[in-house]
Amino acid sequence: GVTAKIAPSMLSSDFANLASEAQRMLDCGADWLHMDIMDGYNLNYRLLHKPFILNHCKLMAYLDCHLMVTNPLDYVEPLGKAGASGFTFHVEVSRDNWGELVQRIKSKGMRPGVSLKPGTPIEEVYPLVEGEHPVEMVLVMTVEPGFGGQKFMPETMDKVRALRKKYPSLDIEVDGGLGPSTIDMAASAGANCIVAGSSVFGAPDSAQVISLMRKSVEE
């Protein structure tokens, strides 16, 4: 079976206090820390270096990195060195080299995942899940990638349902617009890894939001 992983998106955190924000999320019950890495907007990436991980917050956290970049291959080596745990690339930019990419990610000790945008058909990721070097997670984007605080797109749940039916034990992650009012839709469709930025960081009680989402997945 699959277990719930609740992953606050650090994109919604106070960047000036990233280390203490990360620790606060772990104290609030987060399983993973979701790190959004984008071309031209690499503040999170620059902060994801060794001193941050080793010194600032004694992080033994699982760093769930989501690469919204044109050339994910360029990030494998530096992210591996920085202590990333999961490395999720987008299928839209990796149609020609995902086999090599997955092997390189694994060789750096990271867990490979593939993501797809709302407009990309789910069939595109099947070969990556079933390949000789398979990805270990599929991230179904539930908003257009780019920024936090957008509205959840319920129509993306068809893709989650199709994936869950085909792969009963696969980690299926959802990202964008998840919070107390949308979690049940995602959980009942079969998602078990939940990214949440604004709903967690914007709440007066982040721990309560995290535990509510966990309950919904584990029900």
Would you please indicate which residues are annotated as catalytic (active-site) residues? 36, 175
| Nearest one of 95, 98, 139 to 117, comparing CA atoms | 139
Q: Is 5 a residue that touches Zn ion (CB under 5 A)?
A: no
CB-wise, 9 or 192, nearer to ligand DX5? 9
Q: Which range touches Zn ion (CB under 5 A), out of 35-43, 81-89, 146-154, 163-171?
A: 35-43
Q: Is 148 a residue that touches ligand DX5 (CB under 6 A)?
A: yes
Cβ atoms < 10 Å from Cβ of 130 = 11
Q: Is 182 a residue that touches ligand DX5 (CB under 6 A)?
A: no
Residue 194: what are its φ and ψ, rounded to 5°? -120, 115
Which residue's C-beta sits nearest to Zn ion? 66
Q: Is 86 a residue that touches ligand DX5 (CB under 6 A)?
A: no
Q: How far apart are CA 191 and CA 197, in angstroms?
A: 17
Q: Is 64 a residue that touches Zn ion (CB under 5 A)?
A: no
Q: How far apart are CA 44 and CA 48, in angstroms?
A: 6
Q: Which range touches ligand DX5 (CB under 6 A), out of 8-16, 75-83, 94-102, 161-169?
A: 8-16
Q: How far apart are CA 42 and CA 209, in angstroms?
A: 27
Q: Among residue numbers 52 through 71, which ones bind ligand DX5 (CB under 6 A)?
A: 66
Minimum distance of ligand DX5 from residue 130's CB (angstroms)? 25
Q: How far apart are CA 82 and CA 37, in angstroms?
A: 13
DSSP string computed for 146-187: T-SSPPP-GGGHHHHHHHHHH-TT-EEEEESS-STTTHHHHH
- The site for ligand DX5 (CB under 6 A) is made up of 9, 11-12, 34, 36, 66, 143, 145-150, 175-178, 195-199
- The site for Zn ion (CB under 5 A) is made up of 36, 66, 175
